[in-house]
Amino acid sequence: MTYAHGKHAEPKTFLSKYIFSFDHKVIAKQFLWYGIFFLLIGGLMALMIRWTLAYPGEAFPVIGNWLFPETGGVIPPDTYSMLFTLHGTIMIFYAITPILIGAFGNYCIPLMIGARDMAFPTLNMLSFHLAALSGLILLSSLFFPLGGAAGGWTSYPTLSTLVGSPGIGQTLWCMAIFVLGASSTMGAVNYITTIISFRAPGMGYFDMPLTVWGLWLTAILNAIFIPVLGAGVMLLIFDRVFGTTFFLAGAAATSGTGDPILFQHVFWIFGHPEVYILILPAWGIVSDFLSFFARKPAFGAKATALAMTTISVLSTLVYGHHMFTTQMSPLLTQSFMTLTMTISIPSAILFANWLGTIYKGSIRFTSPMLFSLGVVFVFGLGGLTGLYLGTVSTDLYLHDTYFVVGHFHYTMAASVLLGGFAAIYFWFPKMFGRMMNETMAKVHFWGTMIGLNGVFFGMMVVGHAGMHRRLYNPFVYEFLQKLIPINTFITYSAFVMGFAQLPFLWNFFHSLVKGKVAESNPWEVGTLEWTLPSPPVNYNFEEIPVVQCGPHEFGNPNLPEGKDFQYQTEKLVEA
């Protein structure tokens, strides 16, 4: 095994230090800024969607007249379609992915396994700049005639062909996703190679923190399935630009080729593993944090790692439950339903291990712990509601209603967003050498949790009542008019959640400049990154550490008085 690169020379120029850096820690910060920027844009789009549903035909407050002068500030129907398309695209691919996978994958993997950098630093640098290029392509689509993509974040044909989206915006959407896929594949290859080849001496796979397990499994799924999506959007570009008929409705009856449903197969073969690509890093982070702040070893840590591995394998086999309403063979629907139900078994093991870790722990309610406990709550609720969508008979009724939107947001938006915030609060002192304000962090947590549950639980209520997703004004249907008060409540909750992010932004940027100077190990945790100064030097480790124990060694009675944890570099003291 190769244990380390040599020590990097300190970069001398502004460009080599901050723009074209090969240092994984600088690249992680670049991904973090990038993700927070798009999180704000995606969040604003969400508020505009919610305003339209609560107050159809009324001008969006403050910035409506500036954005939509031709309609007096009212969001028009075609813009509404563009908003929910780009909101979903941005939040999944341009906010969550850069923050959890790009930023914390880059930052944590070398530091937590005892390496000086990623296996391929140049590839790492290029992966960020490709992601930045992809973001520019996506945003540029807003300034072309007919605006950005408006075929939904899944971009199903026929909505995404020239028939449904005649402007250039949908083509630019496809190009942006293709370029971002290349960036993600570069990162995945780097992460996999680094974890396999650059672990410190003594660090077996089950000595790795569960954060690294989550990022590793995510990278494996990315390397396998991102190219599938890339192939799909490339064929869609061919249909739009060169006149091919891969996804042209009715083409099968004339030329013998072409079917819109083919794109759905391609998309969901990638799309369901993508659910776990996004949530596995959050699971790993939460599994570690619950142990760190309950001050006890992670319950069933090896079983948790194996459960995440089992989920990753099964996630490749269940994509058909997204397509129960596409006239799929009943034999296939039964098979996909059975596989979908099977995946709940390792998920339940994972969840039970979280509860076992918390049970009788000496819990410290720090901001990372609060957000981790939030993940436990929202993932439990989101996972249980998924059972109704994985069952054919109930899915036929609930499919394409707001119940699906609520479930998806509980498992993805809520779980992954809260996991991302937990990671930011936890590693901020290591990244920037300063502490974030804990009082402001707790205001942020409670505002986010209250608003978030109001929005996503309300979505499931109106979905169960039959409200279809993606309707500009659902209340033209008489049977849905009784849901107006609930939709208004959801919108108020969305604004609560939106305004709750202001304390976070203030805390983040204020702490960068005036935050309390961080100690090297403010959380009293034993993983390898906390053996280094805050922030670490550019080559991380002066000497490559030798690992003596796992990452969750707490409460050993032979520890010195006043110390309840062991560093992974400390010789394990037998009780």
End-to-end, the C-alpha distance of the chain in Å comes to 32
Q: Is the pLDDT of residue 200 over 60?
A: yes
Q: Is the pLDDT of residue 202 over 90?
A: yes
pLDDT at 560: 81
Label residue 125 left, alpha or beta by phi (over 0 means left) and psi (-120 to 50 means alpha).
Answer: alpha
Q: HEC string of 116-158?
A: CCCCCHHHHHHHHHHHHHHHHHHHHHHHCCCCECCCCCCCCCC
> CA-to-CA distance for 318 and 268, rounded, in angstroms?
9
Whole-model pTM: value is 0.95
Q: What is the pLDDT of residue 34?
A: 97
Residue 248 pLDDT level (bands cut at 50, 70, 90): confident
Q: In degrees, to the nearest 5, what angle opens at C-alpha 288 toward C-alphas 284 and 289?
A: 115
pLDDT, mean of residues 387-406: 94
Token readout for 481 is 């008019």
Residue 414 near residue 286, CB atoms below 8 Å: no
Evaluate if residue 1 carries a pLDDT over 60: no
In order of their start, the domains of the chain are 17-249+256-531 (1.20.210.10)
Q: What pLDDT score was predicted for residue 564?
A: 87
Residue 40, classified by CB atoms within 10 Å of its CB into exposed (0-12), middle (13-18) or buried (19+), is middle
Per-residue pLDDT band for 562 (boundaries 50, 70, 90) equals: confident
Q: What is the pLDDT of residue 573?
A: 55
- Sequence-distant (≥ 6) Cβ neighbours of residue 342 within 8 angstroms: 314
- Gyration radius (Cα) of the chain, Å: 24
Q: Measured between alpha carbons, how far is 102 from 131 in angstroms, rounded to an integer? A: 10
Q: Residue 308's pLDDT band (boundaries 50, 70, 90)?
A: very high
Please tell me the distance from the alpha carbon of residue 475 to that of residue 50, in angstroms, as a whole number: 14
**Spatial separation of the C-alpha atoms in residues 343 and 311, rounded to whole Å:** 6
Question: Where does the pLDDT of residue 462 fall: very low under 50, low under 70, confident under 90, or very high at 90 and above?
Answer: very high
Which has the higher per-residue pLDDT, 159 or 557?
159
pLDDT at 3: 61
Among 44-53, 119-128, 270-279, 561-570, the least confident range? 561-570
Residue 290 makes CB contacts below 8 A (sequence gap 6+) with 298, 354, 357, 358, 361, 369, 372, 373, 376
How far is 346 from 410, CA to CA, in rounded Å? 19
Task: State the pLDDT at residue 418.
Answer: 96
